[in-house]
Amino acid sequence: MSTRIMYMERKAGALTGSARIGRVTLNRTGRTITYRDQIFRRIFGGGFKSNYIELGTKEDYWLSGCKRRGGDRMYGSALPVPIDEDVRAEYWRDIRNQPERILEPVS
């Protein structure tokens, strides 16, 4: 199984929702993603502005790779996105190429 840093936004029937950036684990096919105690399954055919469903709550989520230029939210909202502590340095250094921002806890 592989891991990567991804953007995760809870949709739950709305256009925008709570979001965060963290390390996820992908299964061999990428159809199932695990983040902490949550398991996400790919929605084939798409949901309402979502691409995964969380199996425990059956809520829709938008999961994607983090963008180099920022602006990870689907609709470009200016709301801050929390970054998990264990990936913060890697996110700012390797993804955003802004190592001077390593101490910033939100994107």
Q: What is the DSSP string of 30-58?
A: SSEEEETTEEEEE-TT--SS-SEEETTT-
Strand partners, 19: 9
What is the pLDDT, as a whole number, of residue 48? 67
Q: How many residues does the chain have?
A: 107
Taking the whole predicted model, whether its pTM rises above 0.85 is answered as: yes
Give me the residue label for tokens 């996400």.
Answer: 40
Confidence of residue 10 (pLDDT cuts 50, 70, 90): very high
What does the domain layout of the chain look like in residue ranges? 2-71+80-98
